[in-house]
């Protein structure tokens, strides 16, 4: 089966940098499941939908010749997906930390509404943890 690859740390970018990269031609790759996307989606033209449940079978559809920024709800699944693509030789990949929760909190365009449960799962920048001053 699989050979081991010593992967470097994945590149992680914030929503603001992600927007800049999109402006420079990067593609957003949303790895959330389709029912999640139906609830709330990134309002970014050209966003590719590649649910985690299909990634292993379909990842070869993703282009290798342009920058990809992987996104999900809070940035955990997309980090895993980023490493998966790196394992398969993709070099121009980055993970957007904070996912659509952080993206929408920044006021960046979305279609729909971020569910309260997802919003609460925002980790470091959730209202409960903001007192700690980490953000």
User: Which residues are annotated as catalytic?
Assistant: 72
The helix (run of H) or strand (run of E) holding residue 20 is: helix 15-23
Tell me if 11 contacts other proteins by CB under 8 A.
no
Residue nearer to other proteins on the CB measure, 3 or 116: 3
**What's 46-95 look like in SS3?**
CCEECCHHHHHHHHHHCCCCCCEEEECCCCCHHHHHHHHHHHCCCCCEEE
Site for other proteins in 93-122 (CB under 8 A): none
Tell me if 2 contacts other proteins by CB under 8 A.
yes
- Strand-pair partners of 94: 69
Minimum distance from residue 88 beta carbon to other proteins (Å): 7
Tell me if 84 contacts other proteins by CB under 8 A.
yes
**Cα–Cα separations (whole angstroms), residue 62 to 7, 28, 115, 119:** 20, 11, 28, 28
Give how many residues touch other proteins by CB under 8 A.
19
- Strand-pair partners of 113: none
For other proteins, the binding residue among 21, 26, 72, 79 (CB under 8 A) is: 79
Tell me if 1 contacts other proteins by CB under 8 A.
yes
Residues that bind other proteins (CB under 8 A): 1-7, 9-10, 52, 55-56, 79-80, 83-84, 86-88
């Amino acid at each position: 089966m699989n050979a081991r690859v010593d992967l470097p740390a994945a590149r992680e970018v914030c929503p603001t940098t992600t927007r800049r990269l999109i402006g420079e031609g990067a593609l957003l790759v949303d790895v959330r499941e389709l029912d999640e996307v139906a609830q709330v989606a990134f309002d970014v033209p050209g966003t590719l939908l590649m649910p985690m449940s299909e990634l292993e079978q379909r990842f070869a559809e993703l282009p290798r010749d342009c920058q990809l920024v992987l996104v999900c709800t809070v940035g955990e699944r997309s980090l895993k997906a980023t490493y998966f693509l790196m394992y398969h030789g993709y070099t121009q990949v980055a993970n957007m930390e904070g996912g659509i929760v952080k993206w929408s909190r920044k006021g960046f365009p979305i279609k729909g509404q971020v569910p309260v449960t997802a919003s609460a799962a925002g980790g470091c920048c959730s209202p409960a943890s903001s007192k700690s001053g980490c953000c």
